[in-house]
Amino acid sequence: QKEVEQNSGPLSVPEGAIASLNCTYSDRVSQSFFWYRQYSGKSPELIMSIYSNGDKEDGRFTAQLNKASQYVSLLIRDSQPSDSATYLCAVGKSSGDKLTFGTGTRLAVRP
């Protein structure tokens, strides 16, 4: 079992729709959870962090965490073509700890 699992996609959604990206992790002691966006040929860019159960909203992005189910998700509302990228889920055991990344989900937003 992989430590952090993501569906590789591609996930294709029409412009204006909600994109839902999912991630599961295997280590129950994980405490920090991140979503990074990576455009082709670029480095990962942090877009969301979440540390406690529930939802966290920032603009068009909402991160959801369920530690009991070991599940974290990212919702992108009003998807734009500029959101087309690979989204990496990353998990850490504690503050300042190394991050374990999933392989990423490729999102394509159709105009």
Partner 1 sequence: EAGVAQSPRYKIIEKRQSVAFWCNPISGHATLYWYQQILGQGPKLLIQFQNNGVVDDSQLPKDRFSAERLKGVDSTLKIQPAKLEDSAVYLCASSLSPGTGTFYEQYFGPGTRLTVT
Indicate whether 53 belongs to the interface with partner 1 (CB under 8 A): no
**Longest CA span, the chain:** 41
Q: How many residues bind partner 1 (CB under 8 A)?
A: 24
CA distances from 95 to 32, 45, 91 (A): 7, 19, 11
Indicate whether 84 belongs to the interface with partner 1 (CB under 8 A): no
Indicate whether 101 belongs to the interface with partner 1 (CB under 8 A): yes
Shortest distance in whole angstroms from residue 48 CB to partner 1: 10
Rounded CA gap, 16 and 96, in Å? 36
Choose the binding region for partner 1 from 34-42, 53-61, 64-72, 74-82 (rule: CB under 8 A).
34-42
22 neighbors 63 (Cβ within 8 angstroms): no
Indicate whether 7 belongs to the interface with partner 1 (CB under 8 A): no
Q: Which of 19, 24, 25, 34 binds partner 1 (CB under 8 A)?
A: 34
48-71 b/e (C-beta count within 10 Å ≥ 16 → b): bebeeeeeeeeeebbbbbeeeebe
19 neighbors 110 (Cβ within 8 angstroms): no
Indicate whether 11 belongs to the interface with partner 1 (CB under 8 A): no
Indicate whether 27 belongs to the interface with partner 1 (CB under 8 A): no
Amino acid 110 reads: R
Residues at the site binding partner 1, with contacts judged by CB under 8 A:
4, 31-32, 34, 36, 42-46, 49, 51, 88, 90, 94-99, 101-104
